[in-house]
Structures are given as structure tokens and as C-alpha cells.
Amino acid sequence: MKRHLRLVVVLGLLGIALGVVAIGVSGPPAPPPVRVIVIDAGHGGEDPGAVGADGSKEKDITLAVARLVRMASLGDPTIQVVLTRDRDEFVELADRARIANQKGAVLFVSLHVNACSDPSVCGVETYVDSKQRDDSASSRLAAALQERVARVMGTRNRGVRSASLYITRAQMPAVLVEMGFITNYQERGALKNLSRQREIAAAVYEGIRSYLGDED
């Protein structure tokens, strides 16, 4: 009985020792990989994009929301948001996709604001390149963003659409979100309002996280 107990103690200590050695060899668990997300604030510099009746410019709204998406991401060390521009400057369309490719981004989200000659037209729409199939990664990302941004804007969900886009030069899933119409009085008010911009940015970020979670 006593010998048996001693054997158990010895084996137990051996187990602890091996455990300590194993931890010493492998070290702490490796941190999860960082995924680079590129947020592209449409237009900039000499290119104002769409302009509202009150003189507000698409380029300012897209930059504000892009920065807020980056801010929303700061709590997650596994996500790094890179902006194609972080100030009011002109960036060539080809360079926007090139930045995403060079950074090894896992997805590319371009932010824009719509315009229409009819001021009653409103709503959110998200574009994928017309070469993308409905079940492509870009289409799934577009659906995740469209649903959430349309919900926080609370106007009209114009759905996911396809067009020939510059973002197709990006070598990763890429979408373009038209966050609302600067030519519509109600949507312009929301797009210029900081707390609404935060809600839109949170919707974009949650859409990205949902997409990434589904892909894991």
C-alpha cells in the first residue's frame, strides 16, 4: 500500500515535470494571425465625388466613416484596418486596389455615397463586380454589409447589385457600399451626422466580422 502510494506520487511529479518541460519547449500559444482589412474611402482631393444641395461632399463622408470603421476595429488585435487614404487626397483607382494587394488584405471594402437627379430617391445598395457569381466570397461579403448598413440607415434596402468596378483589380473579396444618397435630404442629414456615421461604421465592421466568422 505504501509503495503503491509512493509510485503514484512519483508518477504525479514526473507528469508535472514533463508538463513544465512541454510548456518550456513550446512557449505560450502563438497569437492568432492578424487579418488585414482594407477600407477604401471613395474619392478625395480634387475629386469631391457627389455633392449635396448644401455643398456637403461625398469624399468627406467616406473618409469620416472609413476612419470610424478603423476605430471600431481597435478592440480586436486579430484585425488590422488599413485605409487607402487617411486624409483629403486624390488616390488613383488602380492604386487603391494595389494597396490592398500589397498589404495582403483578406478583403476590400470601398465606401461611397450615391447621387440622383431625383431628390426623392434614397436607400443603401452594395455592389460586387459583374464577373462575380452569386455564391462568390464577394457576394457573401456584400450581403453581410448590405443587410446591416440598410438596417441602420432605416430608409430603403436597394439590395446587392453588380456593375463593372475598379475594385475588381483587388485580388481578394471586394465590394463597394453606397451608404445612401447625398441628394436626398433625409439621408444626407444622416450621412453628415457623427453619431449616425458611427452607426454606419459599426454596421460595416459587424458585417466584416460576420463574414470573417462564417469563413473561419
The values of phi and psi at residue 149, to 5°, are -70, -40
Task: Determine the number of helices (DSSP H) and then strands (DSSP E) in the chain.
Answer: 6, 6
Interaction between residue 96 and Zn ion (CB under 5 A) = no
Minimal distance, residue 102 CB to Zn ion, in Å: 23
β-pair partners for 157: 124
Minimal distance, residue 27 CB to Zn ion, in Å: 48
Interaction between residue 123 and Zn ion (CB under 5 A) = no
Q: Is 35 helix (H, G, I), strand (E, B) or coil?
A: strand
Order of strands across the sheet that contains 174-181: 79-83, 35-41, 107-114, 174-181, 124-129, 157-163
69: nearest Cα among 57, 55, 83, 58: 83
Minimal distance, residue 101 CB to Zn ion, in Å: 21
Interaction between residue 49 and Zn ion (CB under 5 A) = yes
Nearest residue to Zn ion on Cβ basis: 112
The single residue among 42, 44, 123, 173 that binds Zn ion, judged by CB under 5 A, is 42
Candidates 42-50, 81-89, 103-111, 153-161 — which segment interacts with Zn ion by CB under 5 A? 42-50
The single residue among 70, 85, 112, 140 that binds Zn ion, judged by CB under 5 A, is 112
User: Residue 114 or 138: which CB sits closer to Zn ion?
Assistant: 114
User: Residue 42 or 173: which CB sits closer to Zn ion?
Assistant: 42
- In angstroms, the CA 107 to CA 209 distance is 11
Candidates 6-14, 40-48, 190-198, 200-208 — which segment interacts with Zn ion by CB under 5 A? 40-48
User: Residue 52 or 212: which CB sits closer to Zn ion?
Assistant: 52
User: Residue 59 or 140: which CB sits closer to Zn ion?
Assistant: 59
- The answer to whether residues 208 and 138 touch, using CB atoms and an 8 Å cutoff, is no
Work out whether the CA dihedral 49, 55, 60, 65 comes out positive or negative: negative
User: Residue 62 or 79: which CB sits closer to Zn ion?
Assistant: 62
Identify the H or E element spanning 112.
strand 107-114
User: Residue 201 or 212: which CB sits closer to Zn ion?
Assistant: 201
Q: Which residues bind Zn ion (CB under 5 A)?
A: 42, 49, 112
